[in-house]
């Protein structure tokens, strides 16, 4: 009986958690479309996410593109398909690696800082103070971050796609000896709009999830510095897992016939 009871407790705890997250998400989303809007805060969050993440996303993208070129070249050489390198690089970057790697990097950078900031505001009663000053914390803290995350991740992934392809080009041309113009034409040859569109869709979803996890974990953090630390870790881990799950779901929706 003890055993069953403990299973029951875990299940109930999980369901309570899911319920709370669902309610949080619904409230947060409803506040992104209802006025008043906090334009300045949204712009600030967009700059924080979009602009200040450029270095880390760019660096990730260029090395991913480079290693893709190198790996596919040596791998495909086994069945004399080296010519496919440019195509492999551009398809992998736009469809998979761009959104997933950028998402994971931004989850570490932005999700964590959102959880820490909102969590600190929670444990120091700044969120309570907001409420008593007639300002809805969902509107003031959560909505701007959700909007910024959803809009800026596609931008970052667009940049990552370009930089990643460029990384592949560098390795392809300067190390593997491809002809520059044929590498570029091979890059375009099999690329379809849907490859890019699916990647950008993923990016938007990931951006939303990163902000949601950052805000949610911060909002419900409790118990001082330790609680904020836990919220920060949880926001990164849960965002990363959700990114991988939704990556599969979106891929299946677009391409899984």
* Residues at the site binding other proteins, with contacts judged by CB under 8 A: 117, 120-121, 124-126, 128-136, 140
Q: Return all residues near 36 (Cβ < 8 A) that are at least 6 apart.
A: 139
Q: By C-beta, is 131 or 225 nearer to other proteins?
A: 131
Kind and range of the H or E run holding 154: helix 143-170
Cis geometry, peptide bond prior to residue 36 (ω within 30 degrees of 0): yes
At closest approach, how far in Å is the CB of 133 from other proteins? 4
Q: By C-beta, is 127 or 205 nearer to other proteins?
A: 127
Q: By C-beta, is 126 or 247 nearer to other proteins?
A: 126
Q: Return all residues near 168 (Cβ < 8 A) that are at least 6 apart.
A: 65, 66, 68, 69, 85, 86, 89, 90, 93
| CA end-to-end distance (rounded Å), the chain | 46
Q: By C-beta, is 99 or 137 nearer to other proteins?
A: 137
At closest approach, how far in Å is the CB of 132 from other proteins? 4
At closest approach, how far in Å is the CB of 54 from other proteins? 23
At closest approach, how far in Å is the CB of 41 from other proteins? 10
Q: By C-beta, is 101 or 112 nearer to other proteins?
A: 112
At closest approach, how far in Å is the CB of 226 from other proteins? 17
**C-alpha distance from residue 56 to each of 70, 105, 134, 143, 151 (Å):** 22, 7, 38, 25, 18
Instruction: Count Cα neighbours of 43 within 13 Å in the Cβ-side half-sphere.
Output: 3
In this structure, are residues 198 and 243 in contact, taking their beta carbons and an 8 Å threshold?
no
At closest approach, how far in Å is the CB of 46 from other proteins? 17
At closest approach, how far in Å is the CB of 135 from other proteins? 5
Q: Which of helix, strand or coil describes residue 190?
A: coil
Q: By C-beta, is 136 or 182 nearer to other proteins?
A: 136
Q: By C-beta, is 71 or 126 nearer to other proteins?
A: 126
Nearest to 232 by CA among 247, 249, 248, 219: 219
Q: Which of helix, strand or coil describes residue 129?
A: helix
CA 227 to chain centre: 24
């Amino acid at each position: 009986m003890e055993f069953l009871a403990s299973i029951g407790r875990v299940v109930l705890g999980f369901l309570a958690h899911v319920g709370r997250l669902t309610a949080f998400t619904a409230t947060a989303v409803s506040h992104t479309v209802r006025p008043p809007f906090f334009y300045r805060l949204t712009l600030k969050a967009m700059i924080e996410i979009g602009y200040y993440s450029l270095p880390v996303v760019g660096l990730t993208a260029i090395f991913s593109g480079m290693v893709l070129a190198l790996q596919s070249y040596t791998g495909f050489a086994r069945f004399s398909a080296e010519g496919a390198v440019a195509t492999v690089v551009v398809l992998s970057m736009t469809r998979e690696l761009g959104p997933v790697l950028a998402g994971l990097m931004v989850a570490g950078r932005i999700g964590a800082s959102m959880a820490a900031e909102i969590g600190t505001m929670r444990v120091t009663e700044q969120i309570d103070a907001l409420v008593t000053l007639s300002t809805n914390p969902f509107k003031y803290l959560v909505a701007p971050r959700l909007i910024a995350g959803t809009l800026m991740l596609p931008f970052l992934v667009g940049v990552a796609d370009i930089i990643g392809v460029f990384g592949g080009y560098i390795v392809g041309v300067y190390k593997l000896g491809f002809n520059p113009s044929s590498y570029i034409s091979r890059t375009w040859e099999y690329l379809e709009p849907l490859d890019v569109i699916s990647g950008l869709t993923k990016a938007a979803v990931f951006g939303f999830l990163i902000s949601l996890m950052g805000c949610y974990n911060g909002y419900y953090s409790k118990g001082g510095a330790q609680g904020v630390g836990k919220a920060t870790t949880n926001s990164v881990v849960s965002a990363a897992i959700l990114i991988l799950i939704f990556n599969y779901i979106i891929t299946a929706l677009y391409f899984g016939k």
